[in-house]
Amino acid sequence: MKTLLMLAAAAVATPAPKPALAPSEIVAAAPKGDWVAISPSDLLVMDLDSGKRVVIQLMPPPFSQGWVGNIRKLAAARWWDGTSVNRVQDNYVVQWGDANAEDKANAKVLPSGLAKVPQSEYAQQVEIRQMYDELVHGYYAYPSMTFYPRPKGSADLGPLLSGAKPYAPMEGFSHGWPVGATGPLFLRLGGKEKDFIWPVHCYGMVGVGRDMPPDTGTGAELYTVIGHAPRHLDRNIALVGRVISGIEHLSSLPRGMGPLGFYEKPEERTTITSIRIGTDVKDLARFEYLSTESASFATYADARANRRDPFFIRPAGGADICNIPVPVRVVK
Amino acid sequence: MKTLLMLAAAAVATPAPKPALAPSEIVAAAPKGDWVAISPSDLLVMDLDSGKRVVIQLMPPPFSQGWVGNIRKLAAARWWDGTSVNRVQDNYVVQWGDANAEDKANAKVLPSGLAKVPQSEYAQQVEIRQMYDELVHGYYAYPSMTFYPRPKGSADLGPLLSGAKPYAPMEGFSHGWPVGATGPLFLRLGGKEKDFIWPVHCYGMVGVGRDMPPDTGTGAELYTVIGHAPRHLDRNIALVGRVISGIEHLSSLPRGMGPLGFYEKPEERTTITSIRIGTDVKDLARFEYLSTESASFATYADARANRRDPFFIRPAGGADICNIPVPVRVVK
């Protein structure tokens, strides 16, 4: 008995293993070298008349550069000053621009020289080897499916929820951005598609409003995602950036009660004081993102997919790409 | 030439094919018989002192009934009256209950007789045949993966983004609710898991706040999802229902600036006037959901996964389960 009691006491004295870190703790511990500075020239700064600021990081090449070029011109022309947030649709988007854009007699005139960008720019064709190098991603899942008879009288939803990834054969991160991509040629039947890579609609991504196709929008009308990732918009509409600071000033706006969440009365709109490229803003914070090629990001992403910190009892074993948001921080 | 012109004229005269319906149009056209009435006894009605109302549908058996029973007791005891919305974390959750719950000296006393529900209730064990009948789902995807060498120097994220579905081997709808499930026994290595089915964390789902495990929460502290589906919470925390009306009154609240989105000052909180079971509310609207077993739902889900309405140029070919929200309507 005495021996057993002593053993028990010894066991109590053994220090407990350190609890696993939460994703936020991994990010906080990432070394300086794992962070990449975001140039102010790649930032779009939106100041609202509520005094709130929203900062958007514009997408780098090869993505959406026709629209990004237009956005730079619109900001340089101070075109957005005095425009407004016109649409807030719950679990979907916040949209801003000229409230009278559809009313030709009263629409704000666009600066000259804006590019008309073709639909083909929604995705970028890349060499297969380059695609693997771009995507920080060692593999992809091949959707081998087994079919079962469905229960009598039930609707057939199987094919809708099938596939390795419903929205893209491959997904990963390219230079800090979440992207989808086509799979390698030799596994494609018929070889009809080439190798493409495209940005995806996660929370906070910024896209270009447009009219019916083949219109692709100029970039004057922008939106950001404030709900579950509407991935069905991928390759249907241009993505040009992401909100890296202040999205709560948009996501907490009152929802519009008109069709598609547009405000019904002009006084419901939030006025935009100004939108500028970061280099034209004096008091702008400096931002960095966690390199998606870094070891810290891999550890962070692993922790997002497998929560081992003490609150969790069952790690998921995986994560969808929009549940691994790329960490961004303000440099003090 | 003349013949050709006539043919061209005839072609112009042919009526254009009807454009494909958008998901909302399919829902609007669903016959009366495809809708299922939601009993007021399964509704939890939260009135805020802003005058706004939030209506929650409670989960039916076999899911989470220990916590749902507690919630019925708490509502009957009018326990929530005068409590508040205490936490609003952007792209995550809105949480409500007793703001002093963590402060034992000032915490509101819970009614007696609340069940202490075990963690095993986060998922329900079901017969494999029953699981197929429950899930309106004719198949599942077997995650057969092919691995490629990853680019030199890059982080290995492959396994994180792998899998047919990162969060569940099977997904589908069970009596109007989005669920995940384990795959069939004969494809499981080792046979360690039994057949389970569980509700999943989509936008608007309502769950039970808890302390560190093995605590599972009583149901007095509730939250709803206001961002991208945090599916890593599945099977780690109890889901008890979903907001079917008025979520915008929660999702548009100012974000809390304290840790985890808790409000820092008491005056930032929104006071809850009352929470009642629907049968105790006089002026309550009547609600119906679109049967997930109906043909209309199958057509709707197909349209969510393959947008063919005129705005879209490229249907996705699939949808994740949280992008197929179950339609709910108010009966006029």
Write down how long chain A is: 332
Kindly determine whether residue A155 and residue B298, on different chains, have CB atoms separated by under 8 Å.
yes
Q: Answer yes or no: are the C-beta atoms of A174 and A132 closer than 8 Å.
A: no
Option in A155, A230, A248 nearest B297 (CB): A155
DSSP state of A202: -
From the centroid of its chain, how far is CA B199? 8
pLDDT of residue A189: 46
Given 3-state DSSP classes, what are the helix, strand and coil percentages for chain A, each rounded to the nearest 5? Answer: 25, 25, 50
B168 to each of A2, A160, A225, how far by Cα in Å?
49, 15, 25
Contact A116/B at CB under 8 A: no
Which amino acid makes up residue B273? T
pLDDT of residue A113: 96
Among B11-20, B55-64, B66-75, B153-162, the least confident range = B153-162
As a whole number of angstroms, the distance between CA A232 and CA A100 comes to: 27
CB A5 within 8 A of CB A13: no
State the smallest CA–CA distance between residue B296 and chain A in angstroms.
9
Backbone angles phi, psi at B55, to 5 degrees: -115, 130
Contact A324, A301 (CB under 8 A): yes
Of the two residues B8 and A318, the one the predictor is more confident about is: A318
Section B270-287 average pLDDT? 98
The pLDDT of residue B215: 98
Q: Which of A20-24, A76-80, A143-147 has the lowest mean pLDDT?
A: A143-147
Q: What is the layout of strands, in order, in the sheet containing B177-181?
A: B124-125, B196-199, B177-181, B170-174
Please tell me the predicted confidence (pLDDT) of residue A12: 52
Question: What's the CA gap between B315 and B307, in Å, rounded?
Answer: 5
Q: What share of residues in chain B are helix, strand, coil (percent, to 5)?
A: 25, 25, 50
Residue with more model confidence, A49 or A298: A49
Stretch B283-299: mean pLDDT:
91
Strand boundaries in chain B, DSSP class E: 35-38, 43-48, 53-58, 84-88, 93-97, 124-125, 139-141, 145-147, 170-174, 177-181, 196-199, 205-208, 222-225, 239-245, 270-277, 286-290, 328-331
Task: Assign B124 to helix, strand or coil.
Answer: strand
pLDDT score for A132 = 55
Using the Cα atoms of residue A310, residue A311, residue A315 and residue A320 in order, give the sign of their dihedral. Answer: negative
Q: Which residues in chain B touch residue A160, judged by CB atoms under 8 angstroms apart? A: 301-302, 304-305, 318-319, 324
Q: Which residue has the higher pLDDT, A62 or A8?
A: A62
Chain B touched by A259 (CB under 8 Å): no
Measured CA to CA, the distance from residue A88 to residue A109 in angstroms comes to 24
Name every chain A residue with its beta carbon within 8 A of the beta carbon of B167.
316, 318, 320
Residues 190-229 of B with CB under 8 A from A: 202-204, 212-213, 227-229
3-state secondary structure of A30: coil
Q: Which residue has 């809105």 as its token pair?
A: B94
Confidence of residue B301 (pLDDT cuts 50, 70, 90): confident
What is the three-class DSSP state of B297?
helix
Q: Is the pLDDT of residue B244 over 60?
A: yes
Lowest-confidence region among A55-69, A307-321, B145-159, B298-312? B145-159
Tens of pLDDT, residue by residue over A261-306, are: 999 999 999 999 999 999 999 999 999 999 988 888 888 988 888 8
Give the bridge partners for A147, in sequence order.
Answer: B139
Contact B121, B64 (CB under 8 A): yes
Q: Taking CA atoms, what residue in B is nearest to A92?
A: B227
Q: Given an 8 Å threshold on Cβ–Cβ distance, is A147 in contact with B138?
A: yes
- Structure ipTM: 0.88
* Average of per-residue pLDDT across A133-153: 37
Asked if the Cβ–Cβ distance from A311 to B236 is below 8 Å, we say: yes
Amino acid identity of B234? D
Q: Chain B: nearest CA to A66, how far in angstroms?
A: 19
Residue A98 pLDDT grade (very low, low, confident, very high; cuts 50, 70, 90): very high
Task: Give the whole-angstrom CA distance, residue A229 versus residue A244.
Answer: 16
Question: Does B155 sit within 8 Å of A304, measured CB to CB?
Answer: no
Measured distance CA(B159)–CA(A318) in Å, rounded? 7
The token pair that represents B155 in the structure block: 């982080």
Q: What is the end-to-end Cα distance of chain B in Å, rounded?
A: 59
Q: What is the DSSP letter of A253?
A: S
With contacts defined as CB-CB under 8 Å, which chain A residues touch B315?
232
Q: What is the mean pLDDT of chain B?
A: 84
Q: Which of A34, A175, A228, A243 to mutate to test the interface with B (most CBs of B within 10 A)?
A: A228
**Cα B126 from chain centroid?**
21
Report pLDDT for A138. Answer: 33
The residue in chain B having the minimum alpha-carbon distance to the alpha carbon of residue A252 is B252
With 70 as the cut, is the pLDDT of residue B162 above it?
Answer: no
Indicate the pairing of strand B139-141 with strand B205-208. unpaired
Rounded Cα gap, residues A7 and A9, in angstroms:
5
Task: State what percent of residues in chain B have pLDDT above 70.
Answer: 80
What pLDDT, on a 0 to 100 scale, did the predictor assign at position A50?
Answer: 94
Residue A149 forms contact with B (CB below 8 Å)? yes
Helix H or strand E segment including B327: none
Q: Which residue has the higher pLDDT, B137 or B181?
A: B181
CA of B78 to nearest chain A CA: how many angstroms apart? 29
- Burial code (b: 16+ CB inside 10 Å, e: under 16) for B219-229 equals bbbbbbbbbbb
Distance CA B270, CA B256 (A): 11
CA distances from A77 to A41, A55, A265, A276 (A): 16, 18, 28, 9
Report the C-alpha gap between B12 and B3 in whole angstroms: 14
In chain A, whose CA is at the least distance from the CA of B157?
Answer: A137
* Interface A-B: count of C-beta contacts within 8 A: 286
In this prediction, residue B137 has a pLDDT band, given cuts at 50, 70 and 90, of very low
Question: Quick one: B267 exposed, middle or buried, by C-beta within 10 A (0-12, 13-18, 19+)?
Answer: exposed
Q: How confident is the model at residue B17 (pLDDT cuts 50, 70, 90)?
A: confident
Contact criterion met (CB below 8 Å) for B296 and B34: yes
| Closest residue of chain A to B138, computed from CA coordinates | A150
> pLDDT tens across A31-45, in order?
999 999 999 999 999
Give the DSSP H/E element, type plus range, for residue B305: helix B295-305
Taking residues B47-62, what's their average pLDDT? 96
What residues in A contact B323, CB-CB < 8 Å?
228-232
Which tokens sit at B136?
């309106």
Q: What is the pLDDT of residue A146?
A: 29
Does B142 contact chain A (CB < 8 Å)? yes
For chain A, the distance separating the N- and C-terminal CA atoms, rounded to the nearest angstrom, is 59
**Structure confidence at residue B14 (pLDDT):** 63
Q: Which of A29-38, B148-157, B305-314 has the highest mean pLDDT?
A: A29-38
What is the spatial distance between Cα A24 and Cα A60, in angstroms, rounded to a whole number?
26
